[in-house]
Chains A and B, each alone.
Chain A
Amino acid sequence: MNCHLCQKNPTKAVIILQHGALCKSHFLHYFEERVFKTINKYRLIERNDRLCVAASGGKDSQTVLYLTKKYLENYKIPATLEALAIDEGIDGYREKTLVDLKQFCKKLNVPLTIVSFQEALGKPLDEAYPLVNKDTKKKPCNVCGVWRRYLLNKYAKQKGATKVVTGHNLDDEAQATIMNIFKAHTKLAGRLGPVSGTEELDTFAQRVKPLYFCPEKEVRLYALLKEFQIQFGECPYAREGFRHDIQEMLNTFEHKYPGTKQGIINSFLALMPLLKENKEKEDNQKIKVCNSCGEAANHEMCNACKIKEVLDAAK
């Protein structure tokens, strides 16, 4: 199929979208425009921001890092930009993506900090998970997610970041929305949306998601066409999680009923003001400070410290 925008010189398309097929250069332009529009519409980036990109080296984080930088340059916005990566300690997986990330940051001239579970919490995920699991039946992604979020928040604040930029794409958000509904985790709705976290509370760094409206397939295509260096890798635990099943389900639905993922996001965005209002009311009563580490917590002790406590007891 040819690009529907290149009418004078028929050009082969690289993707067929609902509104027509696009060639490489029209797709790249379309993708970037959508990211920039998202940033503008939701004010994800403002003058004098200190941006900290949560990066892993995969396609999403390379794309968001590259486009955040391009946005600042195109619109001549005075803001600082750096990258922060968490090394969970997953053998045979994370070290590969971190190699790609180091190279990418060097090329873009963006400073990079890497914080590891090992040095910050005492053990790599590979060792911590089996011990924690024995007592709590927690899945690896559970432990990984809690600790990663904790460290990102802590180190971004330490760096004085005004915002944490993440590479979450449309698929990630649609999955998280459905996961929360299936598990009745309605309070976690505060983590969703193009902007998440509460501004007024300095205990949580605000998170912004420029790729919010970009389907995962388009992000992969963009990274491929831009020739970003990405080796394929899959976390050995990825297929164990609840998310993996939701992901397969949504892809099956999307194939059969195109527009499903976007529909989930649109429903969420329509409900978001209500959910957030509700969440903020609760937050004002509930947010406390962890009495072990001083970071934000919903209980006396934060989730990261709770896991660490289980781990220390298991030694």
Chain B
Amino acid sequence: MKLQVKNERENSLKKIVFAGTTVQELLKQLKINPETVIVVRNNEVITEDEELKDKEQIELLSVISGG
């Protein structure tokens, strides 16, 4: 499936091809440690077991505030 991923820390919005189904698998594919982000879809926080659907937009909020 295709997803749009908005990454707060990198200030980026990327279209990606995702091979899995869950949030957990998405983070793994992106090599992001789940400890460091909060995942948001349609303005709602979702947990790692949540299933994603084609063409969805996912936002990764950074847990770490440097400083």
Interface assignment of A14: CB less than 8 Å from any CB of chain B? yes
Q: Is B62 an interface residue, CB under 8 A from the partner?
A: yes
Contacting B35 at CB < 8 Å: which of A12, A15, A90, A217?
A: A217
Main SS at interface, chain B: loop
Task: Tell whether, in the assembled complex, residue A232 and residue B35 are in contact, meaning their CB atoms are under 8 Å apart.
Answer: no
Of the four ranges (under 10, 10 to 19, 20 to 34, 35 or more), the interface on chain B belongs to: 20 to 34
Q: Is A277 part of the binding interface, using a Cβ–Cβ cutoff of 8 Å?
A: no
Partner of A15, one of B11, B47, B65, B66: B47
Q: Min CB distance, B35 to chain A, in Å? A: 4
Interchain CA distance A251-B44 in the complex, whole Å:
24
**Interface of A: prevailing SS:** helix
CB-based contact B35/A233 at 8 Å: no
Contacts A14-B47, A21-B47, A220-B61; A255 near B35 (Cβ below 8 A): yes
Given known A-B contacts A220-B38, A224-B38, A254-B35, A233 and B67 have beta carbons under 8 A apart: yes
* CB-based contact A217/B38 at 8 Å: yes
Q: How far is the CA of A21 from the CA of B67 in the complex (A)?
A: 30
Contact among B34, B49, B62 for A232, CB-based, below 8 A:
B62
Closest to A256 in B: B33
* Structural contact, B66 and A255, CB atoms closer than 8 A: no
Number of A interface residues in the complex (CB < 8 A): 35
Does B8 have its Cβ within 8 Å of any Cβ on chain A?
yes
CB distance from A246 to the nearest CB of B (A): 12
Interface members, chain B 5-51 (any A CB < 8 Å): 8-9, 11, 33-36, 38, 44-50
What B residues does A1 contact at CB under 8 A?
Answer: 47, 49-50
A-B contact pairs, 21 of them (CB 8 A): A12-B46, A14-B47, A21-B47, A58-B67, A60-B65, A90-B67, A217-B38, A220-B61, A220-B62, A221-B45, A224-B38, A230-B65, A232-B61, A232-B65, A233-B66, A233-B67, A234-B9, A234-B62, A234-B66, A235-B67, A255-B35
